[in-house]
């Protein structure tokens, strides 16, 4: 299998046309003025292309990029080491930037705004604060939790980008592009089924595509429905975990709380909120209310399809 690499330029990045066009303009303007590109904050669901877009921005700027995970920046020195190791014009990418500790964000503020950091030298009564310049850089922050970004941090980003979920047509283009990269021939029906089972997330489409490649390499006569079944995708991108979740809340007439759901299905709340629920909510299968989650009529219909296919009891409950 040939390497399924990330796109490294805007032309190869499928989807988000308005975002790409704006970024092209912002980058070209910064180059023409010989100035640093404003700091960028990218937010969206996992798998929508935040890291890829950050790398494309760096490539378009002809800049080196330092990649950090917000949760791994535990001390000021972790950030200081990065700031003191970069060159003028470099890009620093912090994934899940909302998880950076508040005391470290204070250091980040002055670096973003003034390209300088304040360092305390000495101990006790002999301390003094020294301001040290750092090279000009562009910070690109990515987050799946835009609401957790403190306002003082948000205000220091000149460019804020929302990467949304993809529609089926865009996902089909993505699947075609990546299938070509890995030399996998697909017909229109196969492309559609991969796209329609991706939960509107490009990363999911690429994962499914890779598994289709593996199975077709093993047995070229396997059809797409058989392959989807083998990788536990049941219908409309929903997996057994999704149906376990739906079955759990369907057993309760009243809304059920997140912690209770977590205890019943033995899945942590972060996984439920970030991985399971977004697609179910956006497609109207469940509803969130003040006192928990409840299944919708559409969710019951989907659950009935699953149960019927598996010889289980169906439900007639109407909400």
CA 213 to chain centre: 24
The separation between the first and the last C-alpha atoms of the chain, rounded to the nearest angstrom, is 49
Euclidean distance between CA atoms 227 and 213, whole angstroms: 10
Residue 115 near residue 136, CB atoms below 8 Å: yes
Residue 145's closest CA among 108, 190, 95, 194? 95
Euclidean distance between CA atoms 28 and 21, whole angstroms: 11
87 tagged catalytic = no
Which entry of 20, 48, 90, 95 is annotated as an active-site residue? 95
**C-alpha gyration radius of the chain:** 23
Which entry of 48, 138, 144, 170 is annotated as an active-site residue? 144
Which entry of 51, 52, 239, 248 is annotated as an active-site residue? 51
130 tagged catalytic = no
**Residues whose CB is less than 8 angstroms from the CB of residue 128 and which lie 6 or more positions away in sequence, other chains included:** 120, 121, 122
Q: Which tokens in the block code for residue 82?
A: 């990065």
241 tagged catalytic = no
Euclidean distance between CA atoms 137 and 105, whole angstroms: 16
50 tagged catalytic = yes
Which entry of 176, 203, 275, 288 is annotated as an active-site residue? 203
3-state secondary structure of 310: coil
138 tagged catalytic = no
Which entry of 50, 156, 172, 199 is annotated as an active-site residue? 50
Active site residues: 50-51, 95, 144, 203
């Amino acid at each position: 299998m040939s390497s399924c690499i990330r796109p490294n330029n805007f032309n190869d990045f499928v989807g988000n046309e308005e975002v790409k066009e704006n970024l092209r303009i912002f980058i070209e303007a910064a180059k023409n003025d010989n100035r640093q590109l404003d700091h960028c904050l990218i937010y969206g669901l996992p798998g929508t292309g935040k890291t890829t877009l950050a790398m494309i921005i760096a490539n378009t700027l002809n800049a080196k990029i330092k990649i950090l995970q917000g949760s791994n920046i535990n001390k000021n020195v972790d950030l200081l080491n990065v700031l003191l190791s970069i060159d003028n014009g470099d890009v620093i990418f912090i994934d899940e930037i909302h998880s950076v500790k508040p005391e470290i964000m204070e250091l980040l503020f002055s670096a973003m705004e003034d390209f300088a950091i304040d360092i305390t030298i000495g101990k006790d009564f002999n301390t003094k604060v020294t301001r040290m310049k750092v090279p000009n850089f562009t910070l690109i922050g990515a987050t799946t939790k835009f609401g957790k970004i403190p306002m003082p941090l948000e205000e220091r980003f000149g460019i804020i980008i929302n990467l949304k979920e993809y529609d089926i047509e865009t996902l089909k283009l993505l699947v075609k592009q990546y299938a070509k990269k890995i030399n996998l021939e697909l017909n229109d029906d196969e492309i559609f089924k991969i796209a329609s089972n991706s939960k509107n997330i490009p990363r999911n489409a690429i994962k499914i595509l890779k598994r289709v490649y593996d199975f077709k390499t093993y047995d070229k006569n396997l059809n797409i429905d058989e392959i989807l079944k083998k990788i536990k995708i049941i219908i409309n991108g929903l997996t057994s975990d999704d149906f376990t979740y739906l079955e759990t809340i369907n057993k309760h007439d009243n809304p059920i709380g997140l912690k209770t759901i977590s205890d019943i299905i033995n899945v942590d709340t972060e996984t439920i909120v970030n991985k399971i629920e977004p697609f179910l909510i956006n497609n109207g299968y469940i509803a969130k209310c003040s006192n928990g989650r409840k299944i919708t009529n559409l969710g019951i219909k989907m659950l009935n399809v699953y149960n019927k296919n598996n010889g289980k009891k169906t439900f007639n409950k109407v909400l």
